Structure formats: C-alpha cells, structure tokens
Amino acid sequence: MSTRPMRHAVVFGGAGFIGSNVAHRLLRGGQRVLLFDSLARPGVERNLKWLKEQHGDRLRVQIGDVRDATLVRRAIRGAGQVFHFAAQVAVTTSLQDPVRDFEVNGRGTLNVLEAIRTEEVKPSLVFTSTNKVYGGLEDVALERRAARYQPVEAPLRAYGIGEWRRLDFESPYGCSKGCADQYVLDYARTFGVPAVVFRMSCIYGPRQFGTEDQGWVAHFLLRALKGGPITLYGDGHQVRDVLFVEDLVNAFVLAQAGMERLSGRVFNMGGGPARSISLLELLDRISLLSGRRPEVRFESWRRGDQRYYVSDTRQFEQATGWRARVGVEEGLSRLLQWLRQADVPSRDPTAVREAAAEATAG
C-alpha cells in the first residue's frame, strides 16, 4: 500500500496565485503542506498571510529560491506530493534578463527533479508548463470575425490546439519553460519520477494580482476598478481560453490521484473553446460587470504573442473525467468581487519582510 497520502505536500511557488489556491485546497482536506516561495512577486505576501490565518500551524513555510538546491532538497525530503509552480512568468522579463529567466525556470526545475530523484520513495510531481512552448503559431490560418480571430480550419475552431502540436520554443521564456517541460517528461521516462506536465493557457481567479505582463484578466479588472488605462499590444482581436482557478485545482488533484496511470504524460490545460475570449470581448464584459469601460491604448505586437491559442483539453478529460465547471461570466464576477474586497495595494517591501518573518516565526 502506498504511503504517499500520509506524507506532506510541497508547493513550490506556494504563495503565488495558483500555489496559494492549491495549498488552501490541500490544507482544507487535512493534508500537511510545506509552502516554498521567495516572495518575489508583488502581492504574494498577502496570500501567505491569508493562508497562515486560515490554517495556522498546519502550514509550514520555507522562504527560499528554487535556485538554491540545498533548500529545495531539504523541502522535498520525506514528501509524498510536489507541486512545482515557482517560475519567472513573463516573456517581457525574459527578454530583459534571459540568464535569470533560465536559472529560475530551467535550473530551478532541475533542482526540484534531482531532489525527487534521490528520494528513496519518490514523491509525485505536478509541473506547470506553458502554451508558449508551441511558439507563435504563425502557420495556423486565421480569419477575423467580429471582435476576434478564429482558425479557418473547422477542427481547430471546434477543439483548439492539442498536444500533437509540434514544439517551437520562442522567446527566452518559451525556451526556459520548454526546457523544464522536457526535463520533467524525461525524468519520468529515464528515472521513474512520477510526474505530469500541464501546458497552461490563461488561468484567473481570486488571489491573483495581475499585471500587464502576466495575469491579464485580473489586470484588466483592476484597471477598470481603479479607472486607469489599459494598453493592448496588437489589435485586441487575439483570443485565449480562460480557466477559473477552482477548475484548475480540481485538475491537479485528479492528476495526483491518478499518477500511476498518468505519469510521463503532458496535457494542454485551459478553458477550451467554450471559454475562449478575445481581449476586446473581455473589455466588453468588464464594462457590463463593473459599469465602467477603461480607456484603451494600442501598441505594436509583442514578440511571440499568439494571435490565437485555445487549449484542446480532451486528452485530460478522457483520462480523468475532469470537466471545466465555472463559466466565464461567473468566473469574472467572482474575481471582480474578490478584487473589490481585497483592495489590491502597490508593492510594499516592508510588508514582504514582515510577512516572511511572521510566516517563519516559531
């Protein structure tokens, strides 16, 4: 009988948007959790404080960086499950500092894999990759309809981009995440590390502190609430499929539960065609929800920005029975409500230091 359910879970990047939602679900279910985070992303110290208030001593915290192999090894020792979300997450940042981007995404992931490989009982790993491993998708023929792009080919319109799509790493971010993606799959194949890779589309929901470079759904809502302008890069007709974080956490839980069957596989994960939306369409919905339409400015297209990306999630659905449950209207309403209550502030270095001290005290 497996001993993994009795062992603690490690959530790398656990104070981040996705990580804090996963940690909360695990803790609420009675599992012991070690949260590992550098607190580098603005706002995540608030997520850490919230988790400590909700769960107290059941949550252990390690303030650290995945580039520190010793700390990573120490965190994983004796773990039953690992969720690896710690990453440099923006294409723009990777263009400014490609070396740091690789060290965090590439070397950091290798540190996690090596720590797992050397454990006598290897914990199971859920790793989040990105749709950027498919490149700009310039060869996908598109047509413009109303306020969105859509594929000319009917199967792509109906189902989205599947795992069959060839890899085409573009931008340093695409390269570093693609490198990590492939290392995880190969460690499953070569060393028997139980692991699943999710190539993610756009995730949104509570505890997300969106910026222009990452977390664009929350960013648009925040700008609407604060009355600030929004910059669209390109023409605004580009389409993504959005997935509410609650549905994503359900997918992760199913992946861990089915790890013996799923290990070594990669799945595209997002809201699928039913939850696809263009930037302009999102602005329309935000206007209806908030009663305020932000001022919109347009700039040139950014490198590697896909005009159309929608996930084909059928492989994961067939393997686990998972389905996305939260519709776009409901999800946006729930995120808007959370943002209004959260009153998201600017980055406060003092708050970061205080959160780290409180979380690790005792």
Does position 38 have pLDDT exceeding 80, yes or no? yes
More confident residue, 52 or 6: 52
- C-beta of residue 143 within 8 angstroms of C-beta of residue 150: yes
What integer pLDDT is reported at residue 318 of this predicted model? 98
C-alpha distances out from residue 207 to 104, 286, 347, Å: 22, 18, 15
Give the per-residue pLDDT at 210: 75
pLDDT at 257 over 50: yes
For residues 194-206, give the mean pLDDT: 97
**Residue-level pLDDT at 352:** 46
Among the residue ranges 237-241, 243-247, 299-303, 327-331, the one predicted with the least confidence is 299-303
Mean pLDDT of 286-296: 87
Distance from C-alpha of 177 to C-alpha of 102, rounded to nearest angstrom = 8
Q: Are 119 and 77 in contact (CB under 8 A)?
A: yes
Average pLDDT over residues 93-117: 96
Higher model confidence: residue 349 or residue 300? 300
Task: Read off the pLDDT of each residue in 39-65 and give the average, rounded to a whole number.
Answer: 94
pLDDT of residue 361: 47
CB 286, CB 329: distance < 8 Å: no
Closest listed residue to residue 21, CA positions, set 47, 52, 49: 47
State pLDDT tens for residues 11-34: 999 999 999 999 999 999 999 999
User: Tokens 């607190």 belong to which residue?
Assistant: 39
User: How much is the pLDDT for 67?
Assistant: 97
The CATH number of the domain covering residues in 4-360: 3.40.50.720
For residue 133, pLDDT beyond 60:
yes
Instruction: Cite the active site residues.
Output: 173
Residue range 311-322: mean pLDDT, rounded: 98
Tell me the average pLDDT across 271-278: 98
Residue 292: phi and psi, rounded to 5, are -145, 125
Structure pTM? Answer: 0.92
In the chain, % helix, strand, coil (3-state, to 5) comes to 50, 20, 35
Per-residue burial over 239-272, b if 16 or more Cβ lie within 10 Å, else e, is bbbbbbbbbbbbbbbbbbebbeebbbbbbbbbbb
Q: Look at residue 350 in the predicted model and tell me its pLDDT.
A: 47
Q: Tokens 């001022």 belong to which residue? A: 295
Instruction: Please give the pLDDT value at position 293.
Output: 80
The average pLDDT across 342-355 equals 52
Q: Which DSSP letter does residue 274 get?
A: G
pLDDT at 2: 43
Band of residue 4 on the pLDDT scale cut at 50, 70, 90: very low
169-193: pLDDT as tens digits:
999 999 999 999 999 999 999 999 9
β pairing state of 142-145 and 266-269: unpaired
Give yes or no for a contact between 324 and 272, defined as CB atoms under 8 angstroms apart: yes
pLDDT confidence of residue 193: 98
pLDDT bin (cut points 50, 70, 90) of residue 212 is low
Write down the mean pLDDT value for the chain.
91
